[in-house]
Amino acid sequence: MENEGETVVGTSEDKKRRPVYLRGINNLMYLGWSEGFHDAGVTVIDNNGDIVFASHSERFSGNKNDKYIGKYLSGFVDANWGNNIVHKAFFEKPLLKKTRQLYAGQLETFISPRPLAWKPDSTQYHHKSHAAAAFQTSDFTESATVVIDSIGEWDCTTIWKTGYKDSKATYKKVYSEKYPNSIGLWYSALTKYVGLRPLDEEYIFMGMAAFGHLDKTCVKKLKALLELTNNHRGIPAGYLDYPNEVIAASAQHVLEEKLFKIFELARTYSDNICYGGGVALNCVANTKLQLLHNNLWIMPNPGDAGGSLGAAALAYGGKINWKTPFLGRDIDASSTPEHIAQEVVEELLKNGVVGIAHGRSEFGPRALGNRSLLADPRGKDAKDRINTIKKRQKFRPFAPVIREENAHEYFEIHSKDGSSPYMSFVYDGLKKDCPAILHKDNTARVQTVPWNSPSIIRTILDLWYEETGCPLLLNTSLNIRGKPMVDTCNDAHAFEMQYGVKVVY
């Protein structure tokens, strides 16, 4: 993949030509990065607490879920901010992690380390980086922060009492479940057991649950796996003699039951709860947690790439100004947003499907309108058509993107402010006129878009509403199967050539 758009600090005229997000960087920068397990990422924060840049290694290398920081990403960061970076923070403790790898018998991993992309000025604890990404981007001045993932150095589940003292974030770990007792490893092992890719397709396993039913004996076996077994080594063939959909439905039940207990414990430390770690991507469980805990903030990129933000946040020390997930590389169009939106809507009206690649790419696993494949949600064949284009399983749902002020007409949204900007939750559908975006259980992973969104998706939705009276579109990620989301113009062109779908960029 080309390192498109790389800019080197040069003359004053060079700086004028640089994208807006690369200007005015004559201040101190804090770099955080994550790599070595899966989904490596980088975040740069300035001394005002603003996120200057954040992205995934995969978007630069072209290797989905790339676990290392490659030369294109490190070169891009060094060229644009290297002279201003005063602190480089790695998201975990490599030596402590080695002790767990030795204990776990991961000898090949233990004896063949790969050098880090940068020499760190500090190393943070893995779960503390996740906690910082969640807490320091929240609006809370104090909270209980829950972190649940596959594994850090040794921690797999933690609760932190978090707050600020003299404007600096403070962390006290008050609860821990350590390896091999891991909810994340258990869920990933089950993902693999049903024939899906672990550390990648857990969201498909979650979606599969809607097609199954709860089986009490299966639940009992799943609880035994979670509580008594080292799931790092996988699940023996034949242990679960049930249809995959029943395993998925029963696993979702066990997961939620476990999460409820952890969050009830967290609630004893604060009414405000922040949540991070890879398990926080389970939007079905998140929705039930939201019903029980009104003051809940889930960082939109809670996995390992998001841990890079946490490492940078810990180096910076104070509150991070989370404003938008659009933090990656820019595709700066020569025409106006209105003209681009017009082109998108015309293609939707003509062919029912179109790609959009505009502005800065999303930081996180979900396409939120800047790198999206959009479709008219009203037709009965829209879902099957997109599944065919992307070669996806037919049971998988698609997300609706909707104008925030119209969301209550179509979905039973129960967040405090009626918004759901990051696809972190699922809500019941209230209408049947857009069947393409409703799952088997009549839910949808909703993305609401406010009037002042920085993404072009709002301009597209407004024009689509004017033309059709429909305030929503089907939205899925713009990517070639097995590849990361589109990041550059070259990527967008490759998608267009691969699938014969027009991409406006």
Rg of the chain taking only CA atoms, in angstroms: 22
Cα–Cα distance between 241 and 243 in angstroms, integer?
7
pLDDT at 206 over 90: yes
Cα–Cα distance between 424 and 298 in angstroms, integer?
8
pLDDT at 483 over 70: yes
Band of pLDDT at residue 4, cut at 50, 70 and 90: very low
Band of pLDDT at residue 332, cut at 50, 70 and 90: confident
* 244: CB partners within 8 A, 6+ apart: 194, 195, 208, 212
Q: What percentage of the chain exceeds 90 in pLDDT? A: 85
Cα torsion at 57, 63, 64, 68 (round to 10°)? -40
- Which pLDDT belongs to residue 3? 37
CA distance readout (Å), 463 to 116, 477, 501, 503: 47, 21, 21, 18
Cα–Cα distance between 277 and 275 in angstroms, integer?
7
8 A C-beta contact, residue 139 and residue 321:
no
CA 356 centroid distance within chain: 19
Q: What is the pTM of this model?
A: 0.93
Q: Of 222, 228, 258, whose CA–CA distance to 242 is shortest?
A: 222
Q: Which region among 36-40, 42-46, 181-185, 332-336 has the lowest average model confidence (pLDDT)?
A: 332-336
8 A C-beta contact, residue 114 and residue 68:
yes
Tokens matching residue 398: 């698609």
Band of pLDDT at residue 16, cut at 50, 70 and 90: very low
pLDDT at 14 over 90: no
Model pLDDT for residues 63-120, shown as the tens digit of each residue: 999 999 999 999 999 999 999 999 999 999 999 999 999 999 988 888 887 899 999 9
Model pLDDT for residues 431-446, shown as the tens digit of each residue: 988 888 999 999 999 9
Tokens matching residue 194: 């049903």
Q: Of 312, 397, 303, 231, whose CA–CA distance to 56 is shortest?
A: 303
Model pLDDT for residues 276-304, shown as the tens digit of each residue: 999 999 999 999 999 999 999 999 999 99
CB atoms within 10 A of CB 357: 26
Band of pLDDT at residue 176, cut at 50, 70 and 90: very high
CA 276 centroid distance within chain: 10
Q: Which residues of 214-249 are buried (b: 16+ CB within 10 A; e: fewer)?
A: ebeebbebbbebbeebebbeebeeeebebbbbbbbb
8 A C-beta contact, residue 457 and residue 334:
no
Mean pLDDT, to the nearest integer, of 192-207?
94
Mean of all residue pLDDT scores within the chain: 92
Tokens matching residue 32: 């955080």
Cα torsion at 65, 399, 213, 246 (round to 10°)? -20
Q: What are phi and psi of 163, to 5 degrees?
A: -170, -165
Mean pLDDT, to the nearest integer, of 397-401?
88
Q: Of 329, 316, 326, 400, whose CA–CA distance to 363 is shortest?
A: 326
In three-state form (DSSP H/G/I as H, E/B as E, the rest C), the secondary structure along 46-57 is: ECCCEEEEEEEC
Band of pLDDT at residue 382, cut at 50, 70 and 90: confident
Cα torsion at 355, 361, 365, 366 (round to 10°)? -50
Model pLDDT for residues 305-316, shown as the tens digit of each residue: 999 999 999 999
pLDDT at 15 over 60: no
- Which pLDDT belongs to residue 109? 83
Cα–Cα distance between 274 and 396 in angstroms, integer?
29
Model pLDDT for residues 31-60, shown as the tens digit of each residue: 999 999 999 999 999 999 999 999 999 999
DSSP assignment letter at 268? T
Band of pLDDT at residue 334, cut at 50, 70 and 90: confident
CA distance readout (Å), 296 to 246, 270, 299, 485: 30, 11, 10, 28
Q: Of 430, 444, 365, whose CA–CA distance to 397 is shortest?
A: 444
pLDDT at 17 over 70: no
Q: What percentage of the chain exceeds 70 in pLDDT? A: 94
